Amino acid sequence: MIQMQLSPKLAAKIISEVQEVVKEDIILVDINGIIISSTDESRIGSFHEGATIVIKSKQKLYIDQIKAQVLKGVKAGINMPIMFHKKVIGVIGITGEPKQVEPYADLIRRMTELIIQEAYYTERNEWEIRGIESYLYEWINASSVDKDFLERGFMLGIPVYDNHVCTLMELEIHTLNNYDIHRIQKEIIELFYSIFGKEKHFIVRWGQERFLVLKKMDASYKQNYFYSQLNDLKKRFENRYKSSLAIGIGKTACKHMINKSFKEAQKALKVARKNKGIVFYEDLILEIILEDIPSEMQKDFLKQTIHMMEKDQILIETLQHYMNNNQSIKKTAEEMNIHINTLHYRLNKIEELTGINPKTTEGIVIFYISLLLLNSLNS
For 81-126, write each residue's pLDDT tens digit. Answer: 998 888 999 999 999 999 888 888 888 888 898 999 888 888 888 8
Looking at the predicted structure, is the pLDDT value of residue 372 above 90? no
Averaged pLDDT for residues 338-359: 92
Q: Are 203 and 192 in contact (CB under 8 A)?
A: yes
Within 10 A of 277 (CB to CB), how many other CB atoms are there?
A: 15
pLDDT at 158: 80
Looking at the predicted structure, is the pLDDT value of residue 301 above 90? no
**How far apart are alpha carbons 359 and 362 in whole angstroms?**
8
Q: Are 113 and 91 in contact (CB under 8 A)?
A: no
Mean pLDDT, the chain, integer? 86
**DSSP state for residue 213 in the 8-state scheme:** E
pLDDT at 120: 86
User: Three-class SS of residue 87?
Assistant: strand
Q: Which residues pair with 34 in a beta bridge?
A: 47
Name the region of 30 (left: φ>0; alpha: ψ -120 to 50; beta: rest). beta
Q: Give me the domains of the chain, ranges plus CATH numbers.
A: 8-112 (3.30.450.20), 160-284 (3.30.70.270), 291-378 (1.10.10.2840)
pLDDT digits 0-9 by tens, 208-229: 889 999 888 776 778 888 899 9
From the list 237, 202, 200, 206, the residue with the least C-alpha distance to 219 is: 200
Q: Which residues pair with 35 in a beta bridge?
A: 29
pLDDT digits 0-9 by tens, 140-154: 888 888 889 888 888
Averaged pLDDT for residues 50-70: 93
Select the more confidently predicted residue: 242 or 28: 28
pLDDT at 26: 92
Looking at the predicted structure, is the pLDDT value of residue 302 above 90? no
pLDDT at 344: 93
**How far apart are alpha carbons 183 and 3 in whole angstroms?**
25
- Tell me the chain's radius of gyration from C-alpha atoms: 31
pLDDT at 377: 67
**How far apart are alpha carbons 128 and 226 in whole angstroms?**
28
For strand 245-252 and strand 164-171, is the pairing parallel, antiparallel, or unpaired? Answer: antiparallel
pLDDT at 42: 93
pLDDT at 176: 65
Q: Are 315 and 353 in contact (CB under 8 A)?
A: yes
Looking at the predicted structure, is the pLDDT value of residue 264 above 80? yes
pLDDT at 136: 87
Averaged pLDDT for residues 51-77: 93
Confidence of residue 3 (pLDDT cuts 50, 70, 90): low
Among 22-26, 27-31, 113-117, 217-221, the range scoring the smallest mean pLDDT is 217-221
